[in-house]
Amino acid sequence: MKYHEKEEMVLNVYAPKGSFLTVEEAASAEDKIDWTAKEGTDQVASTVSFAAVDIAGLLQKIPGVKIKIQPGDCPKEPEPAIILLVSSLFNKHKKTLKELFGEIEVPVDEQSFIIKSGVASEKNGLPLYLVLGADRAGAMYGAYELLNTFGFRWFGPDAWEDETPDRKTLRFPAVDLKQVPSFKTRGAFGGKTENRKDFLRWIARNKLNYVSTQKDEIPFCKKLCLKLTMGGGHDFTQKYIPPAKYYESHPEWYALIDGKRTWRSNEVARDEMGYNICLSNREAVAEGIKNFIDNLVRDEELRCADFINIWPLDVGPRYCQCDNCRKMGNPTDQLLHLCNEARKAIKKAVREEKLPRDISIGTLAYHETLPVPSRPLPKDFDHDGIIITFFVIERCYTHAISDTSCAEINTDINNFWKQWTANPECSFKGAMMVGEYYNVSGFASMSIPFIRIMAADIPYYYSCNARHMNYMHMPGEHWGTLTLTNMQFASLLWNHRLDCNKFFKDFLSDRYRNSAEKMENFYTILEKAMSNSKPLSHFAGLAYGGLRNELKKKGNKENPHPLFTTEHLTYGPIYKTRNEGPSLVETVEMLQAAEGILDQVLIDNTDPQIAKRLESDARRFYYTKNRIAFFYVLARLRIFENRGDSAGAKLEALKLRDLGESLRREELMLRGCGLYENGLKTTQTHQFDVYAVVMADYGLVTPDTPEGKLPEGFKHPGL
């Protein structure tokens, strides 16, 4: 009889407790630990004990399973047990461990681990396992990988996404494996949710380790071995050289634009989208760095960061035009000069013991700073302490980033990437992080699978020596179909050699069980339907082409306004040998086909747990279909306007109102991302009052157009 088939199962879990009285105390002691201090036994105990308590709680969900958490590091004799250790403790128990598990290869690579089953396990079904991590992160990841072999899964942060085996399906296989992560830094910006710890647990259980964070959760994040990126976004000027404080007395510190010193652009309303400071002005840079360091020294939470972001204002031109700035080189040269000054100041503060630990600078290749530096970097430039994130926001997702048939969009972006990673003349020699956009703001959490794209892109990034990657903006809850993207992303960053076809099949089987085959058809159609979402709902290419932006502008028969400005996206199908993507009509047709499959699966399913997952999938899919239909109908309305066909345009306006008001009522699908209040605002036609203007043009009543008219005093934004 196998051990797990007995009536009662008692399993011991061993973990180091450090200086704490019990493993349980160590597991919840993160608030008592100084995470800015040099790592010691208590930091190790906090993480490994947390993993022990977590897996104990998960195993005890299975009826008839009883877990005892042991304060020692290792049993003396064979017994049903899971032993969690780090390499630094191995020698202390080397003899005993060898007797229990045979020869052991001690892991040494950062975040790596080995898992071995006991020598008697396979013979009598005795569940005896060693999880040995090279460090505390490795031990934690190994613990969760062991539970994977038992049959546990964590598809998402919501409760219905946990997969727990029952007594019949629980298995204790013989294991002898070693894992080393492909990417050292793996994570995402985002995760907004009231249940933030559930999201962070999902991050750790799926071996991601990089997040943007909130200050009150820093100790919990540190316990989970998460690398924290903090310190703001595109706000260096406003935060450290605020114009309200300095502009009147030091106008020369600010950008020279068309012969005038200024900080504020008249093009847009947001302060953060004005102009960068004059980066060649030594006094301005010195004052900004001084304020930056003062803030860092004062802010106790900020000192726990692993990366402090220094990002410039972008979507330009946003850079000073003075002769001295031009002499510095291109915007990338200017930005890296600022970052290097910040790094020198951080290292000086560490030497003077104003800061307890070193912190890297995170900056970016993005829009104006996509080109590599045009000048040699200073001899004292800190290549090791400055990491550059190459953000691919202009790309399309119809094609892989390295696909040469994407001559209109991705070829340009990939050429910049290769200049950073494969050009021996590039003066920057430090680490590059990839910044992807699987949920860029214009996608607004729509159902967009990237099965094929991630399978091609992530191994390609790895082949270019990228070892750090994140994406924007991962929602924090109610993922639905986004679960596939997040699971594949985490799995590929851990193992860039992942067989994505097998991963997809396993995901479908595990998450949908009897509905796996039909859901495979659903996702296959959905992926193709949504592959052109970038030029449809955001922008694509260095020229920022895209349908969404053109829909904001009204044409007429005498002066028609062009809508489809990229080769990728056309209204109807057109044969192309390059830059090919589904047309808007084809996208709508494929979404209708996908809906038919999903509707049938919902009817056929009788599994309560799968029903909850399908409900979440369907809610996100229907929101997605409505949002695409909104763009489709608005495009048809504009086409009729271009023809001077007011009757045809009025019919589309009626359909647009129904879609717009349906989207206005959709809030749940936007809650976990934190970018928009409701579905209508995601179209950004509401943001710029285009929706209201269209409704008024055709006399339709909405909350924005009472009595079918614009409110008194309404001022058109002029787009």
71-82 pLDDT per residue, tens = 877 888 888 999
The amino acid present at 488, given as its one-letter code, is Q
Last residue of a domain, one of 471, 505, 539: 505
Q: Regarding beta strands 386-391 and 360-365, do their DSSP bridges make them parallel or antiparallel, or are they unpaired?
A: parallel
pLDDT band, residue 143 (cuts 50/70/90): very high
Question: Would you say residue 392 has pLDDT above 70?
Answer: yes
Last residue of a domain, one of 472, 505, 538: 505
**Contact assessment for residue 140 and residue 50, using Cβ atoms and an 8 Å cutoff:** yes
The amino acid present at 253, given as its one-letter code, is W
Q: Locate the DSSP E strands across 454-520.
A: 468-474
575-584 pLDDT per residue, tens = 888 999 999 9
pLDDT band, residue 358 (cuts 50/70/90): very high
Q: Rounded to 5 degrees, what are φ and ψ at 182?
A: -70, -45
Average pLDDT over residues 520-525: 98
**Contact assessment for residue 186 and residue 493, using Cβ atoms and an 8 Å cutoff:** yes
> Residue 627: inside a domain, yes or no?
yes
Last residue of a domain, one of 113, 144, 179: 179
pLDDT score for 305: 93
Q: Which of 240-244, 477-481, 534-538, 713-717 shows the lowest per-residue confidence on average (mean pLDDT)?
A: 713-717
pLDDT score for 72: 75
pLDDT score for 716: 62
> Residue 713: inside a domain, yes or no?
no
How many percent of the chain have pLDDT more than 70?
95
Q: Are residues 625 and 691 in the same domain?
A: yes
433-483 pLDDT per residue, tens = 999 999 999 999 999 999 999 999 999 999 999 999 999 999 999 999 999
Burial class of 501 by CB neighbour count within 10 A (0 to 12, 13 to 18, 19+):
exposed
317-354 pLDDT per residue, tens = 689 999 999 999 999 999 999 999 999 999 999 999 99
592-637 pLDDT per residue, tens = 999 999 999 999 999 999 999 999 999 999 999 999 999 999 999 9
> Residue 138: inside a domain, yes or no?
yes
Q: Are residues 533 and 579 in the same domain?
A: yes
Q: Are residues 477 and 551 in the same domain?
A: no
Integer Cα distance of 549 and 34 in angstroms: 49
> Residue 258: inside a domain, yes or no?
no
Q: What is the CATH number of the domain that holds 314?
A: 3.20.20
Q: Are residues 171 and 51 in the same domain?
A: yes
Q: Are residues 671 and 606 in the same domain?
A: yes
How many percent of the chain have pLDDT more than 90?
84
Question: Would you say residue 173 has pLDDT above 70?
Answer: yes
Share the mean pLDDT of the chain.
Answer: 93
pLDDT score for 25: 97
Beta bridge partners of 261: 256
Integer Cα distance of 625 and 594 in angstroms: 10
**Contact assessment for residue 280 and residue 327, using Cβ atoms and an 8 Å cutoff:** yes
Q: Are residues 655 and 703 in the same domain?
A: yes
Output the six-digit token pair for 527.
Answer: 């992926």
Distances (CA, A) of 572 to 20, 63, 624, 647: 67, 57, 20, 22
Quick one: DSSP state of residue 88? G
CA dihedral (346, 350, 356, 357) positive or negative: positive
pLDDT band, residue 145 (cuts 50/70/90): very high
pLDDT score for 230: 86
Q: Are residues 339 and 480 in the same domain?
A: yes
> Residue 483: inside a domain, yes or no?
yes
Quick one: DSSP state of residue 467? -
Burial class of 586 by CB neighbour count within 10 A (0 to 12, 13 to 18, 19+):
middle
Question: Would you say residue 202 has pLDDT above 70?
Answer: yes
pLDDT band, residue 236 (cuts 50/70/90): confident
pLDDT score for 267: 47
pLDDT score for 272: 46
**Contact assessment for residue 601 and residue 615, using Cβ atoms and an 8 Å cutoff:** no
Q: Are residues 26 and 118 in the same domain?
A: yes
pLDDT band, residue 7 (cuts 50/70/90): low
Integer Cα distance of 640 and 646 in angstroms: 7
Tokens 């709680």, residue located = 57
pLDDT score for 73: 77
Count of other CB atoms within 10 angstroms of residue 59: 21
Tokens 């997605």, residue located = 624
**Domain of 567, in residue numbers:** 524-708
> Residue 171: inside a domain, yes or no?
yes
Secondary structure of the chain: what % helix, strand, coil (to 5)? 45, 10, 45
Integer Cα distance of 279 and 253 in angstroms: 8
Question: Would you say residue 703 has pLDDT above 70?
Answer: yes
Q: Are residues 574 and 436 in the same domain?
A: no
Q: 92-125 burial, b for 16+ CB within 10 Å, e for fewer?
A: ebeeebeebbeeeeebeeebbbbbbbbbebeeee
> Residue 274: inside a domain, yes or no?
no
**Which among 680, 674, 683 has a CA at the least distance from the CA of 704?**
680
Q: How many domains does the chain have?
A: 3
pLDDT score for 268: 46
Q: Are residues 330 and 471 in the same domain?
A: yes
Question: Would you say residue 2 has pLDDT above 90?
Answer: no
Output the six-digit token pair for 216.
Answer: 């009150």
Q: Are residues 36 and 165 in the same domain?
A: yes
Average pLDDT over residues 159-188: 94
Question: Would you say residue 3 has pLDDT above 70?
Answer: no
Integer Cα distance of 429 and 426 in angstroms: 7
pLDDT band, residue 6 (cuts 50/70/90): low
Question: Would you say residue 40 has pLDDT above 60?
Answer: yes
Quick one: DSSP state of residue 47? H
Output the six-digit token pair for 606.
Answer: 């009788």
Integer Cα distance of 387 and 433 in angstroms: 7
Q: Indicate the pTM of the whole model.
A: 0.96
For the chain, give me the number of helices (H) and strands (E)? 25, 18
Helix, strand, or coil here: 433?
strand
User: 660: part of which helix (H) or strand (E)?
Assistant: helix 646-665
Q: Are residues 565 and 456 in the same domain?
A: no
Q: Rounded to 5 degrees, what are φ and ψ at 694?
A: -65, -45
Question: Would you say residue 29 has pLDDT above 60?
Answer: yes
**Contact assessment for residue 361 and residue 386, using Cβ atoms and an 8 Å cutoff:** yes
Q: What is the CATH number of the domain that holds 174?
A: 3.30.379.10
pLDDT score for 486: 98
Output the six-digit token pair for 273.
Answer: 């989208």
| Upstream peptide bond of 317 is cis (omega within 30 degrees of 0) | yes
239-281 pLDDT per residue, tens = 999 999 999 999 999 999 999 999 876 544 444 458 999 999 9
**Contact assessment for residue 470 and residue 433, using Cβ atoms and an 8 Å cutoff:** yes
Question: Would you say residue 719 has pLDDT above 70?
Answer: no
> Residue 535: inside a domain, yes or no?
yes
Question: Would you say residue 144 has pLDDT above 50?
Answer: yes
Question: Would you say residue 190 has pLDDT above 60?
Answer: yes
**Contact assessment for residue 375 and residue 419, using Cβ atoms and an 8 Å cutoff:** no
pLDDT band, residue 316 (cuts 50/70/90): low
